Amino acid sequence: MPTSAVRLARLTGHLLSALAAVAALVVVFLALIALTDGAGSGLAAWLTTLGSGAALAVWRGRHRTRPARLMPFLPVLAAAALTASVCIPTAPTARRHPPALPFVATQHWNLDTGSRVAVYHYPPAGPGTRRPVPLVYLGGGPVRGIPVLDHRFLQLLARQGYDVYAYEQAGGGRSDLLPMSQYTISRSVRDLAAFVDRLDRGSVDILGFSSGGVVLTRALADPGIAARLHRAVIAEPGPMDGPTARIDGPRGRPSARDLAPAMTGPRSTHVPRYAVAFGLMRLGLLTPDTALIGQAEGDNAFTAADLGSDTAGAYCARDAHRIPAEDTAQNFSFSPAAGLRVQQTVKDSPSLAPLLRQSRTPAMLMIAECSSQVRPWATAILANDPAIRRTQYLPGVGHHMWNGLDDNNDRAAAVITAFLQDRPAPLPDHPTRDEIPTFLHDRK
């Protein structure tokens, strides 16, 4: 074999060996991040990896000449440089709340639970009848700010005579953070009860969407809280308890997930620190209160583009190329760690069905045709809540039913207002309890 070929083969071998060493050290670093739960902003794992790599480099170079002894240190230095970026914050570590919205004042209410929440009030604005019962909106997330698209829908309800209040759940949007251990589904329910008490307007109507629908469902199962609720609208709920969360069933008609163009804009997951933190949290290898990144830093870093296909999954496949901007970059707020923590407490909770069967508050269930939610999450509520008076299956919309497209907002508002005013439903009552097996089998 020619000398040049031999040299090339040796060089290639050395290069591959160095790359393998770098990769091995990165894997060790990630494993230590998980084992130490990111202690010291990742520095504990970084220093241990660096020390172990350096010791191995010394051992490998012990019989080499002086210049050659330095070669094993090159992969260690490369790995140290790569992994150091995981330990360095690039987002502010103190919480930065979104700026004020130009079209509604932000109030802050201190609740008896200790939560301090951001509140938005849309007084009746239309020329018609003003509804005497206030309407409270519980948004999705969990622990997410209320998107501008939802604010627009609340304004529509106000123009139809409703006195609308909305609040961002503790830790979301402009509301104050809680200690991570306090983010639980039961705390969210207690906050709802405390909010109604703070409003001090008697019984209220509640519209709960997505995870807000879960909070509302669990409130209906608590007689002390349910007594303060006049009527309840549960729209596109998530799982209400642990047994329901473990159900893997059919979803709605095809959504725009994997069909819509990729979301544009900055992503925290393109930054090594947050890609590692959020990725390991999602895999369950880091706790939500990890020492790798603080709650405030994670909230500041997370962007709308990080939601990726989750946003597209809230729309019908036919709308894949005209998905509206749900929010502005300035207003967007999402707490991934706190959201995971709340979801975990739902998964860990016992069956709600025995308590829900005692519910007497008049309720309505809203289901979207192209919902990305697991259908039994909604039908489990229908099957176990005897006070659900009607179910409205909305054609042509995905999980985010009031999305500003076509007449979707008006159709959703018509369904909601008809129930709250005890008028005939604009859509057939479907599915009924007896139709649940067929509804799930037909994958509607």
Q: Which two tokens stand for residue 285?
A: 């290898």
Contacts of 23 (CB under 8 A, 6+ apart): none
pLDDT the model gives residue 4: 63
Greater model confidence, 189 or 59: 189
Q: Using pLDDT thresholds of 50, 70 and 90, give the confidence band for residue 114.
A: very high
Q: Is the pLDDT of residue 170 over 90?
A: yes
Q: Which two tokens stand for residue 108?
A: 């802050």
Look at the block and give the residue holding tokens 């060790």. 28
Annotated domain spans of the chain:
3-87, 107-263+307-441
60-74, 230-244, 291-305, range with the lowest pLDDT: 60-74
Q: Using pLDDT thresholds of 50, 70 and 90, give the confidence band for residue 65.
A: low
10 Å Cβ neighbour count for 52? 15
Q: Which value, in Å, is the radius of gyration of the alpha carbons in the chain?
A: 26
Distance (Å, whole) CA 46 – CA 26: 9
pLDDT the model gives residue 80: 84
Written out in words, the top-level CATH class of the domain with range 107-263+307-441 is alpha beta
25-29, 45-49, 76-80, 184-188, range with the lowest pLDDT: 76-80
As a whole number, mean pLDDT of residues 13-17 equals 61
